[in-house]
Amino acid sequence: MYKDLLNHRRRNFLARVARMGNAALLPGALRSAAEVIAGTAIWNTSVRAQAAFGDALSDPPQIRSRNGTLETTLTAATGTVQLGSFSFPGRLYNGEYIAPVLRARLGDTLKIRFDNRLPDQPSNLHFHGMSVSPRGHSDNVFVHVPPGGNFDYLVNIPARDRQGPGMFWYHPHAHGVVAPQILGGMSGGLIVDGMDERLPILHDMPERLLLIKHIKHAGREVVSINGQINPVISIRPGELQYWRVAHIGATLFVKFAADDLPFYVVATDGHVLSAPRRTTGFFMGPGQRYDLIFVGPEAGEYAMRTIPFQNEAWLPPEPAQQIATILSSGPAAHSAPIENRVLSQRVHGPRWIDDVRRAPIARRRTLDYSRTADRKMFMIDGRTMDENRVDQTVRLGDTEEWTIVNTDQQYHSFHIHQTAFLVTEVNGVAQSRDSLHDTYSIPPATDLGPGSLKVVIPFTDPVIVGRFVYHCHSVNHEDKGMMGIVEVVA
């Protein structure tokens, strides 16, 4: 039945290509085809069928480190964002909805001047997922840069051990105003290069960044990739591409799939798996990343779509929308089935997760997520965030097990700065994970009881001492209090 559907889609695709002429197979021609449908609103289901060919997926701008240093300025200011056929007032880094991707290597130093030209809000920079110091001019979220002010960040990326190569991101973290700033556009990718040394098969693959953002428009969440609505991702049948999918938005929990095409996950939140793992869909909360290998399917056009699901118990699910079109065409890159070759790859070198698994648990804690009935305040252990209070004191060298209990009837997430963690249980069900995470969703409470997430957190890195934060990464909840302070004491 499903094969019939795919064959039908393929015939439609081939018929459309024939109407467009052979030039339609060239990426440049996708642009001109798109002009025909410019201004079509993809979230309007009545016109969805006409909007299948959008612009080719663009490459975000990138800034690379040189001779061990990445030196640049990020200026935050207001500006207008044009997204598909509508525009909205943005808050932008360097005037762009898709800010420059920062690319460095292990052992490099980030020297970033942050210039706050927002007229009305303090801001700062957080380097999400990085195992770097939370103090001084490093990844210090207690720095608040006032409007008109600036701050020089100096972040030393460790050369080895806990910090590995991977996909990370940066965004503001001034408590109380994070959601409007990220929704407005203030977030960008941060890559530590070298994943291909852990997994050499990646070395010769074309890399695609898929940076997911979202904004509410006409009552619905519009999901964009690299600032584009329903872009076209071109691939040849059998071609291998390295996709780095990062949810760098603010508040949206999103499920998506590309028909039933397989994805081969190689890293979660910048932490490499021991071997690629096959999946056909993703559930991502704000802040999560998946690196994956994508294999060009049989020639045809495939839709990457969101999948409706119940998040808030009191709201209907967000309707499905097409977020990208995968266009497979051209001569086949491989004739033989390639899945076995992908799945037989093995990671090179030691992995931090093995240390985390081996470590004895020094202490167990339970954190309770809740909210007020009017949803104006979101709490951890009955308290909202207070920058002058330390909520958890931890001894350097300890590995702890934290259980986060969600008493609210909607998804929340757990994120902690400066260190990744191992997910060991979700809703009481033991998990067998092959990679670490730094952000993970906690299922909602139901009539059967609260949702829960159990994680093992290593506080074992001598660089990571002092005060930093943990919080829900649906950042409107964080802004409304769902954040706490941990202090690691040597």
Residues that bind Cu ion (CB under 5 A): 412, 472, 474, 477
Shortest distance (Å) from residue 144 CB to Cu ion: 22
Q: Assign 113 to helix, strand or coil.
A: strand
Shortest distance (Å) from residue 376 CB to Cu ion: 14
Give the span between the Cα atoms of 471 and 479, in whole angstroms. Answer: 10
Q: For Cu ion, which is the closer residue by CB, 197 or 312?
A: 312
> 190: buried, middle or exposed (CB in 10 Å: 19+, 13-18, 0-12)?
buried
Shortest distance (Å) from residue 297 CB to Cu ion: 36
Shortest distance (Å) from residue 384 CB to Cu ion: 13
Q: Assign 7 to helix, strand or coil.
A: helix
Q: How many CB atoms lie within 10 A of CB 339?
A: 13
Phi-psi sector, 17: left (phi>0), alpha (psi -120 to 50), beta: alpha
Phi-psi sector, 466: left (phi>0), alpha (psi -120 to 50), beta: left
In sequence order, the 6+-apart residues with CB closer than 8 A to the CB of 442 are: 369, 404, 406, 411, 412, 413, 414, 451, 452, 453
Q: For Cu ion, which is the closer residue by CB, 436 or 475?
A: 475
Closest to 168 measured CA to CA, from 223, 254, 108: 108
Q: For Cu ion, which is the closer residue by CB, 410 or 418?
A: 410
Q: For Cu ion, which is the closer residue by CB, 271 or 480?
A: 480
At residue 132, φ and ψ (nearest 5 deg) are: -130, 165
Kindly list the distances between the CA atom of residue 144 and the CA atoms of 113, 123, 133, 260, 462, in Å, as whole numbers in the listed order.
14, 6, 17, 45, 26
Q: Assign 35 to helix, strand or coil.
A: helix
Q: For Cu ion, which is the closer residue by CB, 419 or 474?
A: 474
Shortest distance (Å) from residue 482 CB to Cu ion: 6
Shortest distance (Å) from residue 97 CB to Cu ion: 24
Q: For Cu ion, which is the closer residue by CB, 402 or 459?
A: 402
What is the side-by-side order of every strand in the sheet holding 392-395?
A: 392-395, 483-489, 466-471, 412-416, 439-442
Shortest distance (Å) from residue 283 CB to Cu ion: 15
Q: For Cu ion, which is the closer residue by CB, 435 or 441?
A: 441
Q: For Cu ion, which is the closer residue by CB, 404 or 472?
A: 472
Closest to 356 measured CA to CA, from 421, 416, 426: 421
Say which amino acid occupies 335.
S
In sequence order, the 6+-apart residues with CB closer than 8 A to the CB of 46 are: none
Token look-up 């950042």 returns 475
Q: For Cu ion, which is the closer residue by CB, 58 or 366?
A: 366
